[in-house]
Amino acid sequence: MSSERLAALLDEYADLEKRLADPAIHADQGTARRVGRRYAELVPLHKAAGELEQARADLVAARELAAEDASFAAEADTLAAALPALEERLAELLIPRDPHDAKDVIVEIKAGEGGEESALFAGDLLRMYTRYAERRGWLTEVIDAQDSDLGGVKDVSLAIKTKGVPDGGNGVWSRLKWEGGVHRVQRVPVTESQGRIHTSAAGVLVLPEAEDVDVTIDPNELRIDVFRSSGPGGQSVNTTDSAVRITHVPTGIVVSCQNEKSQLQNREQAMRILRARLLAAAQEQADAAASDARKAQVRTVDRSERIRTYNFPQNRITDHRIGYTAYNLDLALAGELDGVLDALAEADRAARLAGGTELSRR
C-alpha cells in the first residue's frame, strides 16, 4: 500500500475534523455539507488504519512477552494471523474511489420503443426506484414528468437524496450509479388482446446532482424560452406561459420543465437538471482524456442495447453486465433491489482490486 497516500489522507481527515469542530463552518450549510461528506468518506479509512496500527503494536508487545513467557506465544500467533485481513481492508480503502459516491442523484427515465407499453414500463421503473428510496430512508422529488394517456410516463426526472451526511460517504450515487442504460421488459401488454408477449424498453439516465461549486454556468450562454404547459393528449393544463426550456448554447444541452405552476420554480428545477448534465458531461470528457471513458447510460433507447431484462412470465430479472439472474422480479419492482445492486457493487469492488478501474456501467 502507498504510505504516502495513506499519510496524506490521514492528514486530510485530521484537517476536516478540525474544520467541523469550528462552529463558524455551519454558517454556510453548503460548505458544512460538503466537508461533512468528505469527512464521512475518510472515517472508514481512519478507523482501519488505527486498527492495523494497534494490531501491529499489540503483536510486537506479545512477541516480546512470549520471549519471557511462552503462554503469550498463542496470542502472538492469533494477532499475526489477523494482520493480513486488516492490511487487505486498508489497501481496499486506499484505492481511489468514485468522487461522486457521496452525492445525491437525478434519475431520468424515458419511454422508448413500444409506445404506451414502454411508457407504462417507464412508470414501473419510476415506482421501483421510489420504493427503493423509501426503503433506504432517502427523500424523493419528481422534478418534471410527462404522463402518458394510460397512466405511464413518457419522460420523468426524479431527484433522490439522503437525509443529512451519508454514512461512510456512501450516498445515493454509490448505489444507483450502475442503473443508467436501457432496461428491457418482456410481458403481455395491457393493450394486447391476444395474450402475446411483447418486448419494449425504457432508458434510464443517472446523474450525480451538481452543486453550485461543481459547475460554473455563464448566464450569457443560456437561451431561455417559456411556453404553455400541456398534459397527456395535448390538452392545456395551464393558461399561462409557465413552462421553461433552457438551452446551454456551448454544449447544445436542452432541458425543459413544466411541472410547477410558477415560471420561476420551473426555471430553478430546469437549472438543477442542467447542472447535473453538465457535471456528467465534464466527467465523461475527463474520463475520455484518461482513456477510461464512462461507457454507461443511454445512447439510444434500443431494445438490443440493454443492461437489464425484466421478464414477467418467468418472474425473472437479469443484469447482462455481470450475468446476474434472480427469479424475484415482483419483489424487485416493489423496491427490493439490494440483491442486484449488491452484486454490481461486489463486481465493481473486484474490478478495482484487480486493476484499479471501476466496473463499466454499461
For residue 156, what are the CA distances in angstroms to 19, 21, 186, 255, 266? 39, 41, 21, 12, 14
Whether 238 shows a pLDDT value over 60: the answer reads: no
Alpha-carbon Rg for the chain, nearest whole angstrom, is 25
CA distance linking residue 283 with residue 358, whole number of Å: 14
Architecture of domain 219-289: 2-Layer Sandwich (3.30)
Give me the helices (H) in 95-178, please: 116-136, 172-176
195: left (phi over 0), alpha (psi -120 to 50) or beta: left
Whole-angstrom distance, CA of residue 139 vs CA of residue 195: 38
DSSP string, 271-328: HHHHHHHHHHHHHHHHHHHTT-----S-SS--TTS-SEEEETTTTEEEETTTTEEES-
Cα 316 to Cα 302: distance, rounded to the nearest angstrom: 20
Distance CA 18, CA 12 (A): 10
Average pLDDT of 59-68?
A: 89
Cα–Cα nearest to 344, from 174, 92, 214: 174
Residue-range domain boundaries for the chain = 1-94, 105-212+301-361, 219-289
Cα separation, 33 vs 10, whole angstroms:
20
Collapsed DSSP state (helix, strand, coil) of residue 113: coil
Q: Report how far residue 132's alpha carbon sits from residue 129's, in angstroms, rounded to the nearest whole number.
A: 5
Q: For residue 115, give the C-alpha cell.
A: 409506445
Side chain identity, residue 277 = R
Q: For all residues of the chain together, what is the average pLDDT?
A: 86
Pick the CATH number of 105-212+301-361 from 3.30.70.1660, 3.40.50.720, 2.80.10.50, 3.40.50.1820: 3.30.70.1660
* Residue 201 confidence class, pLDDT cut points 50, 70, 90: very high
* pLDDT at 54 exceeding the cut of 90: yes
User: Which segment of 26-40, 85-99, 200-214, 235-249 scores lowest on mean pLDDT?
Assistant: 235-249
- Tens digit of pLDDT for each residue in 319-362? 999 999 999 999 999 999 999 999 999 998 888 777 655 665 54
Can you state the angle between helices 3-21 and 73-94, rounded to 10 degrees? 80
**Residue 31: per-residue pLDDT:** 85
Single-letter residue type at 24: A
Identify the residue with better confidence: 140 or 231. 140
pLDDT in tens, 286-328: 666 544 433 444 444 444 468 999 999 999 999 999 999 999 9
5 pLDDT higher than 70: yes
Confidence at 227, pLDDT banded by 50, 70, 90: confident
Q: Count the Cβ atoms, other than its own, within 10 Å of residue 312.
A: 14
Q: For residue 44, which amino acid is it?
A: P
| Amino acid code (one letter) for 129 | Y
**Collapsed DSSP state (helix, strand, coil) of residue 177:** helix
Q: pLDDT digits over 110-145, tens only?
A: 998 768 899 999 999 999 999 999 999 999 999 989
pTM, two decimals, is 0.75
Amino acid at 10: L
Beta-carbon contacts of 29 under 8 Å, excluding residues fewer than 6 positions away, are: none
Question: Which range among 74-78, 137-141, 211-215 shows the weakest confidence by mean pLDDT?
Answer: 211-215
With a cut of 60, say whether residue 20 has pLDDT above it. yes
CA angle 266, 270, 276 (to 5 degrees): 155
168 burial (CB, 10 Å; 0-12 / 13-18 / 19+) is middle
CATH class in words for 1-94: mainly alpha
Higher-pLDDT residue of 232, 2: 2
Closest by CA position to 125, among listed 179, 178, 175: 179
Instruction: Give the CA count within 13 Å in the CB-facing half-sphere of 284.
Output: 13
pLDDT at 95 over 90: no
Instruction: Give per-residue pLDDT as tens, 157-169.
Output: 999 999 887 777 7
Return the closest-CA partner of residue 292 out of 204, 227, 356.
356
What is the pLDDT, as a whole number, of residue 300? 45
